[in-house]
């Protein structure tokens, strides 16, 4: 299915679909949209906290209702996205995200699923940060563009802080994970 055919087709659907490899994929099957309360809480915390920090500037934060069109030809609905390019208010998608974030769940936490998302997300020349956040524990993997390469950093614990220096955004994990209860680690 071409991207244009997908856009027309998706407008007639009751649920959101991503376009992956030329085929529509029901979003809730890939990312558990409408899934767990903690998944939704983390995404909402991110949108609120980032939105407050970006207020009055040229960048805006979006939740999972606004899609991206990847240079790979795929269409995705990231859990959280930051866009700093001009808005026309009528677009159904963007091709210029700066930050892409996913809250990982059982359906997208596999290394293969993350690899596929990374391939799509790294293909954007505009993307500076890709963030994968766990929902079962306060953990994140952050990919940062450094010229033509990517650096990966891992964070673990509520005392950590997610830094997006080029946007002057600093988010304590305690704020990202506010309202989320964690299971105690299993004893060995």
- Band (pLDDT 50/70/90 cuts) for residue 143 is very high
Task: Report pLDDT for 98.
Answer: 97
The mean per-residue pLDDT over the stretch 37-42 comes to: 92
Minimum mean pLDDT range among 27-41, 57-71, 79-93, 157-171? 27-41
pLDDT at 138 over 90: yes
Burial label for 129, CB within 10 Å (0-12, 13-18, 19+), is buried
* 29, pLDDT greater than 70: no
Closest by CA to 6, choosing from 20, 25, 19, is 19
Query: What CATH number should be reported for the domain whose range is 36-176?
Result: 3.90.1570.10
What number is the average pLDDT over the span 82-89? Answer: 88
**Per-domain residue ranges of the chain:** 36-176
Beta bridge partners of 12: none
Q: What is the mean pLDDT of residues 43-55?
A: 96
- Separation of alpha carbons 85 and 59, rounded Å: 7
| Band of residue 34 on the pLDDT scale cut at 50, 70, 90 | very low
- Kindly report the pTM of this predicted structure: 0.86
Buried b (16+ CB within 10 A) or exposed e, 176-188: bbeebeeeeeeee
Residue 32: the pLDDT is 40
């Amino acid at each position: 299915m071409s991207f244009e055919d997908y856009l027309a087709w998706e407008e007639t659907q009751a649920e959101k679909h991503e376009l992956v490899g030329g085929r529509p994929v029901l979003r809730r099957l890939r990312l558990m949209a409408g899934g767990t309360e903690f998944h939704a809480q983390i995404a909402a915390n991110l949108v609120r906290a980032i939105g407050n920090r970006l207020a009055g500037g040229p960048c805006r934060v979006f939740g999972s209702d606004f899609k991206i069109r990847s240079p790979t030809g795929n269409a995705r609905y990231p859990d959280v996205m930051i866009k700093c390019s001009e808005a026309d208010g009528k677009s159904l998608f963007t091709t210029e995200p700066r930050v892409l974030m996913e809250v990982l769940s059982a359906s997208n936490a596999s290394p293969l699923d993350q690899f596929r998302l990374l391939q799509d997300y790294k293909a954007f020349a505009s993307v500076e940060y890709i963030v994968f956040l766990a929902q079962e524990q306060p953990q994140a993997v952050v990919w940062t563009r450094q010229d033509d390469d990517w650096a990966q950093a891992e964070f673990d614990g509520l005392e950590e802080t997610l830094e997006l220096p080029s946007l002057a955004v600093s988010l304590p994990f305690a704020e990202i994970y506010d309202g989320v209860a964690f299971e105690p680690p299993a004893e060995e």
